[in-house]
Amino acid sequence: MPAQIEKESFAIIGRELEHRGICLPAEEEMVTKRVIHTTADFDYVKNLYYSEGAVEKLRKALREGACIVTDTQMAKAGINKKALGKYGGGVYCFMSDEDVAKEAKERGCTRAFVSMERAAALGKPLIFAIGNAPTALVSLYELMAKKCVEPAGIIGVPVGFVNVVEAKELILEKKEEVPCIVARGRKGGSNVAAAICNALLYGIQEKG
Amino acid sequence: MPAQIEKESFAIIGRELEHRGICLPAEEEMVTKRVIHTTADFDYVKNLYYSEGAVEKLRKALREGACIVTDTQMAKAGINKKALGKYGGGVYCFMSDEDVAKEAKERGCTRAFVSMERAAALGKPLIFAIGNAPTALVSLYELMAKKCVEPAGIIGVPVGFVNVVEAKELILEKKEEVPCIVARGRKGGSNVAAAICNALLYGIQEKG
């Protein structure tokens, strides 16, 4: 029943895109459609930026067991852990750990920075799915510049009004180095981050 | 620092509303603004419907220890449990419980129905915060009709393309009986449900 409703929803989204004269690139189609399914917001047709071959590269990383790092418990809750676990991956979120807050205070930096640093220290292939904190994207940029982390991919979709647009554009500077999917502009969110992760995962499953 | 950014974000939202010539009713202002803060989507100015005195009534229920029932783990993750716990409340979500799926299959009904029924059986004052499943709203409507549940409030903000608009309009038929906040139309989501709960909670805190 839920599967049937989802199928019907995607058919409606497909028809409305067609009605608007929009033809999505085949590789990106299921990801963009799932974000629209999650938000009922067709603005994401324009907002979502994909670096070259991003979907294929991110799927390859997931298939090979990459883990996902989120910046909220909400995004973590929304990611299909069963689908991810099939390939050996798991989800990490350090943002609300008490000792992260403590360390950030002591060092005079943000919780997001400490969280990204902890993720980097895992020494695993990681996809960062950031739906809330622009500071997490800025921290990733800094850690990449210092060669402290080499992400398998970045899903950069924080939402908001302060430093959000800038942080997303900053990550786009790295688009040649790291596969990324970024929601340009103010929109995004933990739900969007989780939807993109799930669309990537379900795309692997469909290929069997 | 995050508090400062939030303050700045709300100031920007306030200025943009003013620029659009929008003056929100005082009681609803902080809730609508927090939804915009969570989505960067000003459509919620038009979409959000509040039954008479809904914000005040829902805050009163929370202050008196009402619990919140969600239809997703994402919404549960997004609700500030610390703020809620201060008044004695907690958050329940039965949707992904294995025995709920089993019971739904055996009885030939939806997981949402079984989940809403289980919540009703708690025998506590409950606010239902529904961000995903229109069937949860329909189930609530049916359970209310049978006098099986008398919610302290309903936050009806599922998102989607199939039966979503209809389910929300159905709940609005009950607006005289139960305080409700409903996102009319297709938009909504677990993030919106959590944002509304948090805005209600923070509003209590501000009063001290």
Give the domain CATH number at B136. 3.40.50.10230
Q: Which 3-state string (H, E, C) describes B36-82?
A: HHHHCCCCHHHHEEECCCHHHHHHHHHHCCCEEEECCHHHHHHCCHH
Residue B132, domain member (yes or no): yes
Indicate whether A30 belongs to any domain.
no
Q: What is the pLDDT of residues B123-177, one digit of tens each?
A: 999 999 999 999 999 999 999 999 999 999 999 999 999 999 999 999 999 999 9
**Is B27 within the bounds of a domain?**
no
- Give the pair of three-digit tokens for residue A121: 């220290």
pLDDT in tens, B25-66: 999 999 999 999 999 999 999 999 999 999 999 999 999 999
- pLDDT score of B1: 67
* Per-residue pLDDT tens over the stretch A135-183: 999 999 999 999 999 999 999 999 999 999 999 999 999 999 999 999 9
> What pLDDT score does A62 carry?
98
Shortest distance, CA A195 to any CA of chain B (angstroms): 12
Question: With bands split at pLDDT 50, 70 and 90, how would you rate the model's confidence at A1?
Answer: low
Q: What are the CA-CA distances from residue A3 to residues A41, B137, B163 (Å)?
A: 21, 19, 14
Q: How many other CB atoms sit within 10 Å of the CB of residue A97? A: 14
Interior/surface letters A5-38, b for 16+ CB within 10 angstroms, e for the rest: beeebbebbeeebeeeeeeeeeebbbbbbbbbbb
- Number of A to B CB contacts under 8 A, please give it: 87
CA distance B78 to B190: 8
In tens, the pLDDT along B73-95 reads 999 999 999 999 999 999 999 99
**Cα–Cα distance, B160 to A188 (Å, whole number):** 17
DSSP H stretches of helix in chain B = 2-19, 26-39, 44-47, 54-63, 73-78, 81-85, 98-107, 111-120, 134-145, 164-172, 190-206
B96 contacts in chain A (CB < 8 Å): none
What's the whole-number mean pLDDT along residues B87-113?
97
Contact A137, A165 (CB under 8 A): no
Interface test with B, best of A191, A192, A197 (most B CBs within 10 A): A191
> Looking at the domain assignment, is residue A21 inside a domain?
no
B162 and A9 within 8 Å at the Cβ level: the answer is yes
Tell whether the model's pLDDT for residue B99 goes beyond 90.
Answer: yes
Chain A residue whose CA is closest to B40: A187
- pLDDT for residue B205 is more than 80: no
What does DSSP say about strands B67-70 and B91-92: parallel, antiparallel, or unpaired?
parallel
pLDDT for residue B2: 76
Alpha helices for A20-133 (secondary structure H): 26-39, 44-47, 54-63, 73-78, 81-85, 98-107, 111-120
- Candidates A5, A186, A190; nearest CB to B191: A190
Dihedral sign for Cα A96, A119, A137, A108, please. Answer: positive
Contact list in B for residue A37 (CB cut-off 8 A) is 160-161
Q: In what order do the strands lie in the sheet with B180-183?
A: B48-50, B180-183, B153-156, B126-130, B67-70, B91-92
Q: What confidence tens digit (pLDDT) does each residue in A75-89 have?
A: 999 999 999 999 999
Query: A76 to chain B: nearest residue by CA?
Result: B74
Residue B115 lies in a domain: yes
**Option in B8, B38, B164 nearest A189 (CB):** B38
**B3 domain residue, yes or no:** no
Q: For residue A34, is it within any domain?
A: no
**Chain A environment of B41 (Cβ under 8 Å):** 41, 187
Residue A207 has pLDDT above 90, yes or no: no
Residues of A engaging B, defined by a Cβ cutoff of 8 Å: 1, 5, 8-9, 12-13, 37-41, 72-74, 76-78, 110, 159-164, 185-191, 194
Residue A127: both structure tokens together: 């996809």
- Asked if residue B12 belongs to a domain, the reply is no
Decide if pLDDT at A108 tops 80: yes
Could you tell me the two tokens for A204? 């692997």
Residue B136 Cα distances to A112, B111, B160, B168, angstroms = 35, 9, 13, 10
From B77, B162, B185, residue closest to A73, measured CB to CB: B77
Q: What's residue B3's pLDDT?
A: 86
Residues of chain B in Cβ contact (below 8 Å) with chain A: 1, 5, 8-9, 12-13, 37-41, 72-74, 76-78, 110, 159-164, 185-191, 194
Q: What is the pLDDT of residues A35-57, one digit of tens each?
A: 999 999 999 999 999 999 999 99
Number of structural domains found in chain A: 1
Instruction: Provide the domain limits for residue A167.
Output: 43-207
Q: How many Å lie between the alpha carbon of A127 and the closest alpha carbon of chain B?
A: 20
| Residue B113 · residue B90 · CB < 8 Å | no
**Residue A206 and residue B10: Cα distance in Å, rounded?**
42
Residue numbers of B annotated as active site: 37
